[in-house]
Amino acid sequence: MTDNQGLVLDDVKIQLGDRLLVALSARVRRGETLTVMGPSGSGKSTLLAYLGGFLDPAFTASGSVRVDGVELTGLPAENRHAGILFQDPLLFPHLSVVDNIAIAIPETVRGRKQRRLLANAALEDAGLAGFGNRDPDTLSGGQKARVALQRVLLSQPCLLLLDEPFSKLDADLRDQTRKMVFGKARQVGLPVVLVTHDEDDARAANGQVHKVGQP
């Protein structure tokens, strides 16, 4: 791994008027996770919005965000290639399970057959072979989370942003889904920024923990 690989946050500051919400410098290597914790309203989701390139103009931000040496600030969201998973898996209800995954395959992958093959391989990887033609509403919470993960991975992100993606799952499923998400991030070599209230998420991620909104 060369020295500029991974995510570097350099003196990132986010303000709402004169209230400083986030002040952070960190280095997150590929496969590592930076966990951001803090009370409700402290600015955790705002930090993810800033990294993803969709910060509301009500906020002002400064500092540098680089992935593998490439500066992201100033780039629109679509050119940042940040993959995001939220609490809600946000599957398209009018698309089949396989089409929910296939929709994320970059346009550079040509040919219907090739795209189908990739989407079906992702389904299989999620343990959902044979579920492709189902309506997403017929999946369990854990199955939906796995579809959302495969969809985000197929979009070939350079960075994975997680906004409490495990919080709606039951304890057992939460554990399994955590293992899958962090395992995949390590396997693919993605830097991860995780926002959570749950210390167990932070332990499962096994990286640095940054607390926002704390003295």
Q: What residues from 53 to 112 belong to the interface with ligand ATP (CB under 6 A)? A: 56, 58
- Window of 39-47, 71-79, 111-119, 176-184 that interacts with ligand ATP by CB under 6 A: 39-47
Q: Which stretch binds ligand ATP (CB under 6 A): 36-44, 91-99, 103-111, 149-157?
A: 36-44
**Torsion angle, CA of 162/165/167/173, rounded to 10 degrees?**
-130
Most distant CA pair in the chain: distance in Å? 55
Smallest distance, ligand ATP to C-beta of residue 77, A:
16
Beta bridge partners of 209: 35
**C-alpha to C-alpha distance for 90 and 9, rounded to whole angstroms:** 28
| Cβ 12 vs Cβ 24: under 8 Å | yes
- Cβ 200 to ligand ATP, closest distance in Å? 16
Should residue 2 be labelled a site residue for ligand ATP when binding is judged by CB under 6 A? no
**Considering the rule CB under 6 A, would residue 42 count as an interface residue with ligand ATP?**
yes
Q: Does 24 bind ligand ATP (CB under 6 A)?
A: no
Applying CB under 6 A, which part among 38-46, 85-93, 117-125, 203-211 lies near ligand ATP? 38-46
Site for ligand ATP contains 40 (CB under 6 A) = yes
Q: Answer whether 101's CB lies under 8 Å from 154's CB.
A: yes
**Closest by alpha carbon to 136, among 177, 191, 95?**
95
Cβ-based nearer residue to ligand ATP, 44 or 178: 44
Are 46 and 59 spatial neighbours (Cβ–Cβ below 8 Å)?
Answer: yes
46 binds ligand ATP (CB under 6 A): yes
Q: How many amino acids of this chain bind ligand ATP (CB under 6 A)?
A: 12
Strand order in the sheet with 208-211: 82-85, 159-163, 192-195, 33-37, 208-211
Closer by beta carbon to ligand ATP, 153 or else 212: 212
Instruction: Name the nearest CA neighbour of 143 among 106, 193, 180, 116.
Output: 180
Q: Which residue has the tokens 């167990």?
A: 200
Residue number, 6 or 43, with CB nearest to ligand ATP: 43
Q: Is 45 in the site for ligand ATP (CB under 6 A)?
A: yes
- Where on the chain is the footprint of ligand ATP (CB under 6 A)? 16, 21, 38, 40-46, 56, 58
